[in-house]
Structure 1
Amino acid sequence: MESSIPSQPIRRKKLYEEVASRLESMMLSGALRPGDTLPPERELMDTFQVGRSSIREALFALQKMGLVVIRNGERAYVTRPSADALVGELSGAVRHLLSTAEGVRDFQQARTMHEISLVRYAASHASDDDIVTLGAALEANRKALGNAAEFTRTDVEFHLAIARIPDNPIFLALHTAMARWLEEQRATSLQSAGAEQAAFQAHSRIYSAIAAHQPDAAEAAMLAHLREVESHYWAAKNA
């Protein structure tokens, strides 16, 4: 009996996609290295036998991927992709997801899982220097009580100090992006009466658990803190 194969049309790549793919392959193979300047547009056109628009679209696509840098009046050059560039690619889609209540809840859950992982790691691995840095961030947060803008800034810095402890650029980029994506949540929740004081007390409990190297206590303190932030946020939104 003959087996039937589902119809799966082969997608033809656009010319610029093929050019971008070939240049990317050269970067992966080491033929093009970070810092190398790409040939002029005319030479690339001759090499790949395509028009100027295909070359420009290919370079723009590679720039969005964080693989090349394009500056007016200069030839593009190869760069090393960063975690920030990777996360930055998501920002447009994130704004649309956050335009709905369901999307906000999804990101709140993602933030909770992310920050709990970070705080457990911090409680297990924080060095004496890490704890000193986190303590300074907590003190700055305390001094900012009563100043909404400064409290918000130091709130972000306290959580960022925890995210720096693993010394992993991907975690740091994700954390920074998450803070930016959910800045409306932070601003809204801190408008509630007593929210600043409650947030500072939560930060104090988180700090104490990390300083004592108690992962379970650190997780419990972070979870309670984020649940309270969410509660303030939805109360304000539904008022």
Structure 2
Amino acid sequence: MKILRIGQAGLVVESDLGTKIMIDPYLSNSLFVKKGDAFRRLVPVNMNFYSYDIDILFISHTHEDHMNFDTLDEMLLERKTITVICPTSVYEKLKPKYYNHNFILFNPGVEISLGDVLCKAIYAEHEDVDAVGICMTLEDRTVYITGDTLYTSKIFDFINEKIDVLITCINGAGNNMNCVDAARLTNRLKPIIAIPYHYDMFEKYGEDPCNYSMLVGEDTKVLILDNYKIFEFNKGWKSEG
């Protein structure tokens, strides 16, 4: 299994059999153009990912740094058909425009088998009430990506798997968990590996991931991943893009 950060909440997860799932790509500068300096990118756009070969696209909610039309136009308008999984609010906005793709509703509790990957939608407590996280089982490993959410016990109503890898928001802004609450979630789930994300795109809304890692119990290894570098489970690093 491989994990690749592509800025903000953007990720690519690849199974050992080569199935690639892209999550919440924000690969434009649209927020800076619309809202000014508070949204100036600290992570550069890598345009190679517009045409990156993926099988599944997951969009967690409608906020523009997750569901970004400038990015999606580049990725979807002239691409072969892929599967897009998303909650209702995203589905209603994207399907009419990108109708040639295979859209599947992905609301809390829904489970979808897509090739060698089992995807389950996990409850999220966020400004967009339809927002969801995702739990993916790839071979014998389970990865839970929180998406944008506050800490809530409702999350645990949807998780009955042992989590091997947790990828969690930590920036504490915009109704996201802060480092303390993200560590609480981590220490309750006790994953083998925890990866913080959603903290390094905008200076005003950023966080130091070390403030998270020092609160995580010793049973979990915290990995602070660079953007645009692949982490390969049990094999280490290589550059991408």
TM-score when scaled to structure 2? 0.20
Structure of larger gyration radius:
1
TM-score when scaled to structure 1? 0.21
The structure with the greater share of residues assigned to helix is 1
